[in-house]
Structure 1
């Protein structure tokens, strides 16, 4: 047993947050305490990043009119997505895909400008900046679950339109609209699984050994 191992209770809490984390769409009214919000942002800021570039930027949306404008962008993309889904369009339109107007906090997670200056770890895989941002969002997600708060990741928007709306630098990039707030309860399963949109794959079908498509023993 490793001497660096957490206690049983600490390990159980970490795994519980991982397994009970949900992409939330339904929120209750009521503000989030400032110190809690900043704990979540600090958790995000302590994510790993390639070359320690820390490419994440978070924009807190406190203006009600700006929130409505973001919601309008998401609604436009929701309709376009439905059109692209063909035979599943009606099924898709019945899904609740965001809670932008209901949640107490909206944050836009973005990649910073001038990322081309960061070569360490990105020379052959420049998209590692996005992987780093995803790690930051996951940190916030797990911390939010531990705090009893729900978080929903909304990716349905035209990036250039959102960038213009937020007056972002040309070489920056918005990647997520994050809805954060109190919830009545967490979904027992991922919402899209509950709604029979998709189901979780079996891990053994995704795990290979040595070469592609060779099952792991």
Structure 2
């Protein structure tokens, strides 16, 4: 393969910095073309995976009846989530639009499919298979942003209920539930950073040299 140029590196950095978790209030009524969807899925299946196991499966969901059932599960779990934050954040929590299950063009449920035989590199850290699926989601997220398509990851869900709704096999594990669609705009900075939900950490606060003291 050819070596990448400084312009390539800068473009990748720009895509990484411009990636956003998109909420339902940003999606517009415009379909995603099959060509763009294929590119996003292509990015996912070419992610790194432990032992080259490629343990991912992607359920594409466009049917509104199914998505309404998923959203009902979100609402149930969201009510529970509100109780976990103190007053100031609890008030902010109620103002947030935390999903775009119906508003987006389509949803993708991303599952981990465990292997029925030992996987190289996964014999000690079983969770490495699940981490591989997260790598696939990150690839999809970056490709979607490069295509100017918004992606939101909905984590406020009862995973077993989602599995039941989608008739997923018992051994499958839901890793991510994604909402994809074109948007009216991408925020300059992450929305939760703008709302001061949390402060951005400085790289020096999270990089540790050699070992923990």
So what's the TM-score if we normalise by structure 2? 0.94
State the number of aligned residues.
210
1:131-165 Cα deviation digits (max 9, x unpaired): 10111001011111111111111111111111111
Give the 5 Å matches for 1:158-177: 158-177=158-177
Contact 2:62–2:105 at 8 Å: present in 1 too?
A: no
Contact 1:60–1:106 at 8 Å: present in 2 too?
A: yes
Contact 1:53–1:118 at 8 Å: present in 2 too?
A: no
The Cα shift of 1:4 comes to 5.7
Give the gaps of 5 or more residues in structure 2.
Answer: none
Give the 5 Å matches for 1:107-118: 107-112=108-113, 114-115=114-115, 117-118=117-118
The Cα shift of 1:10 comes to 1.5
Matched with 2:195 is 195
The Cα shift of 1:11 comes to 1.5
Contact 2:40–2:144 at 8 Å: present in 1 too?
A: yes
RMSD over aligned Cα, in angstroms? Answer: 1.5
Residues in 1 aligned to 2:209 and 2:147: alpha-carbon distance in whole angstroms: 38
So what's the TM-score if we normalise by structure 1? 0.92
Matched with 1:68 is 68
Contact 1:29–1:182 at 8 Å: present in 2 too?
A: yes
1:27-78 Cα deviation digits (max 9, x unpaired): 1111011011011101110000001111111101121100100011111111
Contact 1:151–1:181 at 8 Å: present in 2 too?
A: yes
